[in-house]
Amino acid sequence: MQRKTASALAFMVLIVMAFACVPILITATPARPLPPQARAAQASTVEACTLLKKADAAAALGGTVTGPNATGPFASAPGTTMTACEYTGSGSLAAILTVTHLPGAQFSIDRSACAKAGKDVVAGIGDVACWADNTREELHVYKGIVFISVELHGKSNATDTIKAVAKKVVDQMK
């Protein structure tokens, strides 16, 4: 019986010592690299209004602009962060940049859809770029782990202007 008591006592001492060491082990644990989704979320500190300058928006819209009107960062879906920047001109003129960090799987799917044959692909901007639809008022660009959308509203024949704005934005992302 004494042997069982001694063994039980030794076991209890080991447990107490183990719990006493837990705080030391927790604070001594080295930092682990972030998983890809967390890195993408952390990279969302690149805000849209730092990439779309007021002077560039004014040049694109052809006059003075008000703004910027910044939105975000916010999560639009799990693992996705987004910021937006809007400048407005006279009448219904508007220049809008949206910067989105997508989780890896979603990013790959969306990027592949943009590069797909038959899509209206735009060469020379980012890694992959394509028009959102036939109106050509919104250009989607994929650069690294970032998806950007450049929109100009209220301006006729803005295709070349939108491409120029997108190129300036992407060039700042390097």
- Name the CATH topology of 36-172: Protein Transport Mog1p; Chain A (3.40.1000)
pLDDT at 57: 95
For the chain, which ranges sit under pLDDT 70? 1-46, 117-119
- Residue 125 CB: number of other CB atoms within 10 A? 24
pLDDT at 94: 95
pTM of the model: 0.70
Q: What is the pLDDT of residues 108-137, one digit of tens each?
A: 777 788 877 556 888 899 988 999 887 888
pLDDT at 118: 59
pLDDT at 133: 83
Q: Where are the domains of the chain?
A: 1-30, 36-172
Between the alpha carbon of residue 145 and those of residues 35, 99, 125, 148, the distances in Å are 14, 11, 15, 10
pLDDT at 167: 95
